[in-house]
Amino acid sequence: MKKAIGVFDSGVGGLTVTRELIAQLPNEDIVYFGDTARVPYGIKSKETVIRFTIENILFLLKQNVKLICVACNTASSCALPVLKKNFRVPLVGVISPGAREAVYATRNKRIGVIGTKGTIKSRTYETEIRQLDPEIKITAVACPLFVPLVEEGWLEGGVVEEVARRYLEPLKKAKVDTLILGCTHYPLLKPIIRRIMGKEVTLIDSAKQVAIEVKKILDQEGLLNKNGRPQHRFYVSDNPEWFSGLAKRFLGRPVKNIKKVNNV
């Protein structure tokens, strides 16, 4: 039995990463777990996020996975540095790939980061960026209302525009030329963010970079599937109907046969 790529997120946002994995690795089986019973992670303590992340990894390991993609920015920033020392399975987060791409893209050495309160408070993006280039100036802003707006399907309109303008104002003042979308929900707001920030600002969606990194690791380890009919399985810890309703928006196609699991 061939092994799958495991992906987990606190909810549906990680489906933007899954979408890229499917596009770039079309022969791979994927097992996705959304911890919908405990979403959101962005407001939880670091200790709680680490505990949830360990439980999610253990669940995916039971599903015969060969690599795990931590598609949650909060879990990547809070838990990944600790957990990489304790698990033998390759773990890929969303922070490092996005930070590397931003450092590569910036021309004026001014990078902006937007994310949940947990991600911004952890300062993990800043640490990663400064390790690559200590001269870069970073402006980080928490945007807690973006996630509920996306999940309500409010991607355009006056309310969204007003919220986005308020959040993005410090980044415009800082004259950033590169902006990291540090939450897997935010790519769905790209049109409005691009309109407010201006076309000259490069938006970094780490989902694409994550898929590239996963492909590279699997290739190096000799674990790439060259052919076959891929299976994509979806699990949630609560409310599969809610997940199903949002999944199409994030994944770009309907998701069926979502299984609810208890006691992750």
**What's the number of CA atoms in the CB half-sphere (13 Å) around residue 166?**
10
C-beta of residue 76 within 8 angstroms of C-beta of residue 124? yes
263 — pLDDT class (breaks 50, 70, 90): low
Residues 130 and 72 in one domain: no
Q: pLDDT tens, 76-111?
A: 988 888 888 889 999 999 999 999 999 999 999 999
Last residue of a domain, one of 206, 223, 247: 206
The catalytic site residues sit at: 72, 183
Structural domain count, the chain = 2
Average pLDDT taken over every residue of the chain = 93
C-beta of residue 80 within 8 angstroms of C-beta of residue 111? no
The CATH number of residue 131's host domain is 3.40.50.1860
Residues 90 and 100 in one domain: no
C-beta of residue 205 within 8 angstroms of C-beta of residue 174? no
60 — pLDDT class (breaks 50, 70, 90): very high
User: Model's pTM, two decimal places?
Assistant: 0.90
- Structural domain for 12, as ranges: 4-94+208-260
Residue type, 203: L
Residues 189 and 108 in one domain: yes
Q: pLDDT tens, 235-255?
A: 999 999 999 988 988 998 889
Q: pLDDT tens, 192-214?
A: 999 999 999 999 988 888 999 99
